[in-house]
Amino acid sequence: MDWRDRIVIDPHVLVGKPIIKGSRISVEHVIELMGRGYSVAEVVAQHPHISEHDVQACLAYASYVLKSERVYPLLRV
């Protein structure tokens, strides 16, 4: 599964935050729920119009974003 099939960015929805296609559920919201300990089943139960595949796409998107992040260490003087 490619996250690009399920995650979209639309400047007219949630100010352009990445969302699950066909919804107003942001990737950020799903990741926050998962970080609070919700299971995939609990996320889907709370938002029955999304699927387990949508939650997996959110996780894949987050992984993609973090992998492309660049970290520059600061030199201490």
Residue 73 located in a structural domain? no
Residue 77 located in a structural domain? no
Nearest 5 degrees, angle CA 65-CA 34-CA 69?
Answer: 15
The SS3 assignment for 72 reads coil
Which of 24, 17, 20, 26 has the alpha carbon at shortest distance from 53?
20
Task: Determine the average pLDDT of the residues in 2-14.
Answer: 95
Q: What is the mean pLDDT of the chain?
A: 95
Query: CATH number, domain at 47?
Result: 1.10.10.10
In which band, very low, low, confident or very high, does the pLDDT at 18 lie, cut at 50, 70 and 90?
Answer: very high
Q: Which pLDDT does position 12 carry in this prediction?
A: 94
Residue 75 located in a structural domain? no
pTM of the model: 0.88
Q: What percent of the chain has pLDDT over 70?
A: 100
Q: Say how far apart CA 3 and CA 53 lie, in whole Å.
A: 9
Residue 55 located in a structural domain? yes
Give the pLDDT confidence of 19-47 residue by residue, as tens digits.
999 999 999 999 999 999 999 999 999 99
User: How many domains would you assign to the chain?
Assistant: 1
Whole domain around residue 31: which residue ranges? 3-66
